[in-house]
């Protein structure tokens, strides 16, 4: 067995050695092949002679070394300054060349501009001659207007045209000319329409013959036709005017005096007095409200106002009319000495009141005569030790906070309408439905006391029975309404229910005492319940 293993190992070693020798043999064969190829390549090379070329290169290199050494031995200090000057002159020459090129381009451009300017000057010269000829013809035509319309001032119009030509650009003048031409065209057609309407309404003897030729618009013949028409219209107008004035002069004077008297006596005095009364009422209300405070914040309220710009002009006009002494001594609205602004307001009022549309005139009269429109009103709320708040900008208040000023405003309106400050007998009753629905008990009672005690009103307020308890100590009479369904035998017609009313007269002292005892009982029971939680 040991001999067999030795033989196997020897066989494996021989096989490994054989593999090694085979690899070496293959490598040797590959190298032999390469060497053979190199030998074949060397055999193919030709003999070259480069020794002579190398010798020539060495000689040339030797000569170059000698030349460089001789050059280095040469003293060049005298030529360094010249080289610097040469370089500077070369740079300067380059700059001059660049400038020459630039100037050549500029010269060409200027030459082109010169040619264009000469051409433009020639055109302008030709146009100037043409314009001068047109201007002369137009000036001659303008002077010819005098022969047709003697009242025309030619010199003044020429002077105005010269001034306009100096102050305005040509484009603006041309646009103005076009607009005037369009306006003249529209005016010509409007004249024909007006003449046709006049002929339809006038008498036969007052008819005007007008047959314009629109093919010759803006011509002398057309202008003569229009001028002749103007004289004819003026003739008819003067005749009609004289006839009407003779017949209607007295009536016009009476109507003017009547209008002046009605306007001054009725309208001006009435509006002036109404505006003053409205201001006085608000001032009285402010005096009354100054003594009343509401809520835990001790709120006070007052009314403020300021003039509306348009109506302030009317007010100043009415005031000047009222205080003008000459209006009572025969002077009228049109002859009295009024300020410039008052005259403007007078003319504006006359235009509105005498409008052809009668309904529009009445609406304007109602608007102007309503004294409430003359001021913009505001209500201010001021808590104690705080800045006042305009209610028109009070957008964060709760329902109850906004309901309190609502009652104050309504109370002020009632006071103003009933005129409590005038006379001795007044209606002092106010009815409130769904009363104090958004206010707490304390604020509601303050408003009730203000309405009843401060203003002296008899207050009737309506609310559900379930919410009336807190107010029992404030009322003197209570009406309880109950709706009872009807049975079949009790029905009358279509009614299904009947309403029963129970009137109760309250003893306020007893009610207050009962409420006080009830509050003490509730507080005591609440204290016991609170302490019981800690037992």
52-101 pLDDT per residue, tens: 777 888 888 888 888 888 877 766 666 667 777 888 888 888 888 889 88
In whole angstroms, what is the distance from residue 209 CA to residue 192 CA? 10
With respect to residue 328, please indicate whether it lies within any of the assigned structural domains. Answer: yes
- For residues 192 and 214, the answer to whether their CB atoms sit within 8 Å is no
Residues 238 and 270 in one domain: no
Residues 385 and 404 in one domain: no
The ranges of the chain with pLDDT < 50 are: 396-398
Beta-carbon-side half-sphere exposure of residue 109 (alpha carbons within 13 Å): 6
- Residues 6 or more apart whose CB falls under 8 angstroms from that of 286 comprise 302, 303
With respect to residue 28, please indicate whether it lies within any of the assigned structural domains. Answer: no
Residues 376 and 275 in one domain: yes
For residue 409, give both structure tokens. 């405003």
3-state helix, strand, coil in the chain (%, to 5): 70, 10, 20
With respect to residue 326, please indicate whether it lies within any of the assigned structural domains. Answer: yes
Q: What pLDDT score was predicted for residue 256?
A: 62
What DSSP string runs through 16-58? HHHHHHHHHHHHHHHHHHHHHHHHHHHHHPPP---HHHHHHHH
Q: What pLDDT score was predicted for residue 271?
A: 81
* Phi, psi (deg, nearest 5) at residue 507: -90, 100
Predicted TM-score (pTM) above 0.85: no
With respect to residue 3, please indicate whether it lies within any of the assigned structural domains. Answer: no
Residue 167, SS3 per DSSP? helix
198-233 pLDDT per residue, tens: 777 777 777 777 777 777 667 777 777 777 777 777
Residues 386 and 352 in one domain: yes
Residues 386 and 421 in one domain: no
In whole angstroms, what is the distance from residue 302 CA to residue 387 CA? 13
Q: What pLDDT score was predicted for residue 78?
A: 63
| Last residue in a domain, options 377, 394, 411 | 394
| Last residue in a domain, options 345, 370, 394 | 394
Residues 454 and 477 in one domain: no
With respect to residue 137, please indicate whether it lies within any of the assigned structural domains. Answer: no
Residues 312 and 252 in one domain: no
Residues 272 and 387 in one domain: yes
Q: How far is CA 521 from the centre of its chain?
A: 65
Residues 367 and 420 in one domain: no
For residue 150, give both structure tokens. 């003697």
Please state the domain count of the chain. Answer: 4
With respect to residue 205, please indicate whether it lies within any of the assigned structural domains. Answer: yes
Q: What pLDDT score was predicted for residue 296?
A: 64
With respect to residue 29, please indicate whether it lies within any of the assigned structural domains. Answer: no
| Last residue in a domain, options 379, 394, 409 | 394
The residue assigned the tokens 């006359």 is 350
With respect to residue 243, please indicate whether it lies within any of the assigned structural domains. Answer: yes
Residues 403 and 387 in one domain: no
Strand order, beta sheet including 375-382: 300-307, 375-382, 389-390
Candidates 309, 313, 289, 308; CA nearest to 300 is: 289
In whole angstroms, what is the distance from residue 309 CA to residue 303 CA? 19
For residue 430, give both structure tokens. 């106010």
The residue assigned the tokens 């003197």 is 476
Which residues on adjacent β-strands are paired with residue 497? 485
Q: What pLDDT score was predicted for residue 190?
A: 83
- Per the structure, the complete domain to which residue 498 belongs is given by 472-535
Residues 306 and 359 in one domain: yes
Q: What pLDDT score was predicted for residue 243?
A: 65
Q: At what angle do helices 399-418 and 269-289 cross, to 10 degrees?
A: 130
Residues 275 and 369 in one domain: yes
């Amino acid at each position: 067995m040991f001999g067999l293993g030795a033989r196997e190992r020897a066989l494996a070693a021989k096989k490994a050695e054989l593999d090694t020798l085979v690899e070496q043999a293959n490598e040797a064969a590959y190298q032999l092949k390469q060497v053979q190829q190199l030998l074949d390549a060397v055999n193919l090379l030709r003999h070259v002679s480069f020794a002579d070329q190398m010798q020539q290169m060495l000689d040339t290199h030797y000569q170059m070394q000698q030349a460089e050494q001789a050059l280095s031995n040469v003293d060049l200090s005298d030529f360094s300054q010249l080289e610097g000057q040469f370089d500077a002159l070369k740079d300067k020459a380059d700059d001059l060349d660049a400038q020459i090129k630039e100037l050549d381009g500029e010269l060409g451009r200027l030459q082109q501009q010169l040619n264009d300017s000469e051409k433009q000057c020639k055109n302008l010269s030709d146009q100037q001659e043409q314009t001068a000829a047109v201007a002369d013809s137009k000036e001659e035509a303008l002077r010819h207007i005098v022969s047709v319309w003697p009242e025309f001032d030619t010199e003044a119009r020429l002077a105005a045209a010269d001034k306009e030509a100096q102050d305005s650009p040509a484009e603006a003048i041309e646009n103005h000319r076009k607009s005037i031409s369009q306006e003249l065209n529209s005016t010509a057609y409007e004249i024909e329409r007006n003449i046709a309407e006049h002929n339809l309404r006038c008498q036969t003897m007052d008819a005007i013959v007008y047959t314009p030729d629109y093919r010759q618009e803006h011509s002398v013949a057309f202008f003569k036709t229009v001028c002749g028409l103007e004289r004819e219209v003026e003739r008819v107008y003067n005749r009609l005017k004289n006839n009407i004035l003779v017949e209607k002069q007295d009536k016009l004077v009476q109507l003017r005096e009547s209008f002046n008297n009605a306007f001054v006596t009725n309208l001006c005095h009435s509006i002036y007095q109404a505006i003053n009364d409205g201001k006085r009422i608000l001032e009285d209300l402010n005096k009354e409200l100054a003594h009343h405070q509401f809520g835990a914040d001790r709120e006070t309220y007052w009314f403020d106002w300021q003039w509306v710009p348009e109506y302030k002009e009317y007010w100043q006009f009415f005031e000047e009319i009222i205080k003008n002494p000459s209006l009572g001594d025969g002077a009228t609205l049109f002859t009295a000495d009024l300020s410039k602004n008052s005259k403007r307001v007078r003319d504006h009022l006359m235009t509105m009141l005498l409008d052809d549309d009668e309904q529009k005139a009445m609406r304007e009269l109602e608007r102007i005569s309503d004294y409430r429109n003359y001021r913009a009103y505001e209500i201010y709320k001021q808590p104690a030790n705080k800045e006042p708040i305009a209610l028109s900008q009070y957008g964060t208040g709760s329902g109850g906070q906004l309901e309190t000023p609502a009652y104050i405003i309504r109370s002020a309106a009632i006071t103003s309408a009933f005129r409590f400050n005038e006379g001795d007998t007044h209606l002092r009753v106010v009815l409130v439905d769904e009363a104090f629905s958004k206010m707490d008990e304390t604020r509601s009672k303050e408003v009730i006391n203000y309405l009843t005690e401060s203003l002296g009103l008899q207050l009737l307020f309506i609310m559900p029975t379930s919410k009336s308890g807190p107010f029992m100590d404030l009322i003197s009479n209570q009406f309880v309404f109950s709706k009872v369904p009807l049975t079949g035998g009790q029905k009358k017609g279509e009614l299904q229910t009947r309403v029963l009313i129970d009137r109760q007269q309250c003893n306020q002292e007893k009610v207050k005492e009962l409420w006080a005892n009830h509050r003490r009982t509730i507080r005591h029971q609440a204290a016991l319940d609170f302490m019981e939680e800690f037992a």
